[in-house]
A and B are shown apart, each in its own frame.
Chain A
Amino acid sequence: METILEAKNIFKVYENGVIANRGVSVDVERNTIHAIVGENGAGKTTLMKIIFGIEHAQGGEIFFKGERVNVRSPHDAIRMGIGMVHQHLMLAPDLTVAENMVLGNEPRRIRLFLDTEKAIEITRRVSEEYGLQVPSDKKIKDLPIGVRQRVEILKALFRNAELLILDEPTSVLTPQETEVLFKTLKNLKDQGKTIIFISHKLKEVKQIADRVTIMRDARVIDTRDASELSEHDIAQLMVGRDISFERIPEPRQLGEPVLRVRDLSYVNDEGILVLNKISFDVRAGEILGLAGVVGNGQTELIRILTGLLNPSEGEISLRGEGLVGLSPRKIRERGLCHIPEDRMEDGVAEETTLEENFILDRYFKRGFSKGTRLLWKEISQHSRELIEKFNILAQSAKTPVSSLSGGNIQKVVVARELSSDPELIIAAHPTRGIDVGSEEMVHRLLREARDRGKAVFLASADLDEILKLSTRVVVIYNGEIVAHFQEMSEVSAEDLGPFMLGVQREEAVSGKVSA
């Protein structure tokens, strides 16, 4: 088969000294779906950014259609026929689909004004050509994420992309949306396109890829035909050791409700009803999973529970004490800890040291300060213990957080929050974007907390995570709880999907429904 893209010996060091690619070589054959897999931080995205001209390599060569090319910017890449769909979509939310499609080379009237009709016509034509349905006159912000992604793919095709790079395209999609995307990709392949597909979900890779390149620690470990490898083989190559995938059976010793939420509503600054009369309990000794497509009110719900946002209506109580109106500190003092969904924004102060990040919720407590004086010796000692106990890869307790990898930064957050001896753990996307090793550890810690009789509330965009950990699951859609799953042994991702998309509501739920 003919090779369309070849990267040879790519070497890339970031400004902070992190080596993202050390001599990486990959060749992609024309008219195939080529998956690149690896843990976070393995260098996949960096490699793609180099090919697409966003980042520049310090060494190595790229050949496209047999010619050596110098990709200085995405502009160059697009002109050559390379398109990229980013993990975070790059569309203008306030413009319509058609306007987004033609952005950059707009059809004009008298050279000045956008020819809207022509733009819509172009969108229709391209859309028909590739069999991808999009509503040309709707604004991007009004569309579900799966459709937005389709617009982005179409946009690349309109710019005559022969090679399409998709960076973790399924991480934001529901199982049903993923199916549709895969059909689209296979279709595009049949029409002669080549697709590079980045993922760390092995099932998907097996399902769709013709060839697989496995990366680990900034190197390429192997490139093979997908049919030669099992899911398990790929996982082992990715991590470099054996790991287990089984769902762990769990004891069901449910205790008293620790967190009680009743009729919680929230109207945001723009007057939109974000949460609508939400009620649920989290009991001691259980993990309650909150499933839902990102952006259905999860973020607000968690900010309200932790005191960072005030609800418009409703009651929250922790072991019988009301929490509404209390400051985040007072809520924490009552035994709540919070692993935030955005670790870089809320979880850490990256400019400063691990020590100073560890003491955020305890610097004023005994053992860390005396009167107003900080006890640095004790703080350092405590920090070293946490680094050791949570297996954080850092040179010392005085290292700035910014020099750690994503997984280790998350461990810093988890170490601080779980070491505060909480009664209730609120964890939002606790393993998003971290490597498999760290993920295993976070999962183990949450399970251990549950076994010690703590209450855990877990919100995650990763359905596998929800299914793997939860004792019970509630599904949130458009600010409402639309389903309760009490017995998890029979539940699969496909069962949750229709609720997450709002196609189905409570009545049809398997198992009992509770308040």
Chain B
Amino acid sequence: MEKFLLKYFTLIRVIIAIAIGIVISIFLIYLISQEPGFSLKSFLLGPFLSRSRLAHVFETASPIIFCGLAIAVAFQAKQFNIGAEGSLYLGAALGTAFGVSTNMPAFIHIPLVLLIAGLAGALWSFIPAILKARWKASELVSSLMLNYVAYFLGLYLINFHFRDKDAGFLVSYQLPETAWLGQFIPDTRIHYGIILALVFALLVYYFLYHTTTGYEIRSTGFNERFARFGGINVFKVIILCQVILGFLAALGGMTEVMGIHRRFVWQNLGQPGYGWDGIIVAIIGRNHPLLIIPASFFLAYLRVGGRVLNLMSDVPAEMITVIQSIIILLITAEAFLSQWKYRITLRQAERGGAA
């Protein structure tokens, strides 16, 4: 039994963390809501109660998976680039600009728009990468700052050059149908982006764990001096992993534009926010591409639950964010329950299990 606990310790910890998070949420909701039973149901079960909400979980998960993968590649090399949001935003804006200005058959148009967006994101991410590799500027700081630059650049591009004046809102022109990602389940907006996200999860997994370049990235992350010592080109790794980050994050944004909105619609700072969610799922999934998939679905479920709660109950949006954050915080806390693990290890050792 104890051996089992040790083996699956991380999984068990996540489950316990979620359980505690839910208990705290229940407590908070009872404190705030006039109709706590109903509110709680909306939050926890809401995402499953209708076809469209369930579909919503899938729609939300897709860009989060992309961003989670993006962050994971950089974090595996211990490059703490948090610029996924900026690359996503600018990449999607440039991809949209290209998409609305060109006309070609879908089988070229779709990959080309995705490629342009991806390259734009990659190029954006190259800036903090080269600053780090060449001048040792902290990628954490520069990528964070560049997120704001990306946001205003994107806004400028869309609002001054590609704005659809006939639309009632500040949005770009609509993409031609040849650049749409199809929605393949009737009455939902689940689009091929989710398939693409899953494919990329497999690709990134293969890349990190089964290629020589993946080995270089992970070795640099494990111990940079070790990598240098063994002759790995750490300069290249620092740049490459961040460029890949920008590429993947931009794909996340572009697929969302092509599959759901069909125009560029994000106008507020902090929208769409998937770049930040990517960091959360990368941490929950411990930077493993395949674990990032369930982590993304879980986070998407929380986000949709929050929206349902907001729509259906009297719990204010601020409180919903608080509840979500508490759950995420508990999951990401590394040291949580480590004492417990230690005591089990101790008993095992005393029994002569370990030497």
Please report A residues at the B interface, Cβ cutoff 8 Å.
11, 13, 15-19, 58, 306, 308, 327-332, 338, 340, 345-352, 356, 359-361, 363-364, 369, 372-374, 376
Q: Return the contact of A374 from the options B210, B227, B231, B350 (Cβ within 8 A).
A: B210
Residue of A nearest to B355 (CB): A19
- The answer to whether the Cβ of B288 comes within 8 Å of any Cβ in the partner chain is no
Instruction: Decide if the interface of chain B is mainly helix, strand, loop or mixed.
Output: helix
Identify the interface centre among B219, B230, B350: most chain A CB within 10 Å of its CB: B230
Q: How many residues from B make CB contacts under 8 Å with A?
A: 28
Please report B residues at the A interface, Cβ cutoff 8 Å.
210-215, 218-219, 222-223, 225-233, 342, 345-346, 348-350, 353-355
Q: How far is the CB of B283 from chain A (nearest CB, A)?
A: 16
| CB neighbours of A58 from chain B (8 A) | 346
| CB neighbours of B355 from chain A (8 A) | 18-19
Q: Are A372 and B230 in contact (CB under 8 A)?
A: no
Complex-state Cα separation, A477 to B225, whole angstroms = 27
Q: Are B231 and A13 in contact (CB under 8 A)?
A: no
Residue of A nearest to B224 (CB): A349
Instruction: Decide if the interface of chain A is mainly helix, strand, loop or mixed.
Output: loop
Q: State the total of A-B contacts with C-beta under 8 angstroms.
A: 92
| CB neighbours of A332 from chain B (8 A) | 230-231
| CB neighbours of A363 from chain B (8 A) | 212, 215
Complex-state Cα separation, A367 to B348, whole angstroms = 40
Complex-state Cα separation, A361 to B215, whole angstroms = 12
Complex-state Cα separation, A360 to B234, whole angstroms = 13
Given contacts A338-B229, A350-B222, A360-B229, 15 further A-B contacts (CB under 8 A): A11-B350, A13-B345, A18-B355, A328-B228, A346-B226, A347-B229, A349-B219, A349-B226, A351-B222, A356-B219, A356-B222, A359-B215, A360-B219, A361-B230, A373-B211
Complex-state Cα separation, A374 to B210, whole angstroms = 5
Complex-state Cα separation, A306 to B228, whole angstroms = 11
The 3 A-B residue pairs with the shortest CB-CB distance, nearest first, are A329-B231, A349-B222, A360-B230
Q: Are A328 and B349 in contact (CB under 8 A)?
A: no
Q: How far is the CB of B286 from chain A (nearest CB, A)?
A: 12
Q: Are B226 and A13 in contact (CB under 8 A)?
A: no
Q: How far is the CB of A109 from chain B (nearest CB, A)?
A: 42
With contacts A16-B345, A17-B345, A17-B354 taken as known, whether A352 is within 8 angstroms of B231 at the C-beta atoms is no
Complex-state Cα separation, A352 to B214, whole angstroms = 14
Q: Are A347 and B231 in contact (CB under 8 A)?
A: no
| CB neighbours of B350 from chain A (8 A) | 11, 13
Q: Are B231 and A327 in contact (CB under 8 A)?
A: yes
Q: Return the contact of B346 from the options A13, A329, A338, A345 (Cβ within 8 A).
A: A13
Can you report 11 A-B residue pairs in the complex whose CB atoms are below 8 A from each other? A327-B231, A328-B231, A329-B230, A329-B231, A329-B233, A345-B226, A349-B222, A352-B219, A356-B222, A359-B215, A360-B231
Q: Are A348 and B226 in contact (CB under 8 A)?
A: yes
Complex-state Cα separation, A372 to B349, whole angstroms = 42
With contacts A363-B212, A374-B210 taken as known, whether A346 is within 8 angstroms of B225 at the C-beta atoms is yes
| CB neighbours of B222 from chain A (8 A) | 349-352, 356
Complex-state Cα separation, A16 to B354, whole angstroms = 9
Q: Return the contact of B212 from the options A15, A308, A349, A364 (Cβ within 8 A).
A: A364
